[in-house]
Amino acid sequence: MENMMKGISQEFIRFIVVGIINTANYYLCYLGLHELLDIGYMTAHIASFSFSFVISFFLNSYFTFKVKPTLAKFLQFPLTQLFNVAVSSVLVYLFVEYFLIDSTIAPILSVLITVPLTFIITGKILKK
């Protein structure tokens, strides 16, 4: 049981590292679209999220869960991302529209909530 918990915690740490890389990738893209190109925050959010999707799949396959990426897993991986984008989009919207949080900060706050949930779902799909 202890080895299993150690393995999970190491996976979670690697997941966090990948998440940091992916979040930086997403956020730089988001700021570029939203601030530099003056694209609306929700459009910038969805586009940036989509852009970081492929990188996330390969990093999570090779680094986090140490599994071989396959076409089947790649086709199932969007389930994790659909969950993540749905929850994060609702959170970004709520943070901006109802909590009046700046639209450049709202995506970062949403990540704090979605990361643990996405870790569980991603592991289930990639480790099949």
> pTM score > 0.85 for this model?
no
Q: What is the pLDDT of residue 105?
A: 95
Closest CA to 56 of 97, 18, 30, 4: 18
Q: What is the pLDDT of residue 127?
A: 87
Q: What is the pLDDT along the chain (128 residues), one digit of tens a residue?
A: 566 566 568 898 999 999 899 889 999 999 999 999 999 999 999 999 888 888 889 999 999 999 999 999 999 988 887 888 899 999 999 999 999 999 999 999 998 888 888 888 888 898 87
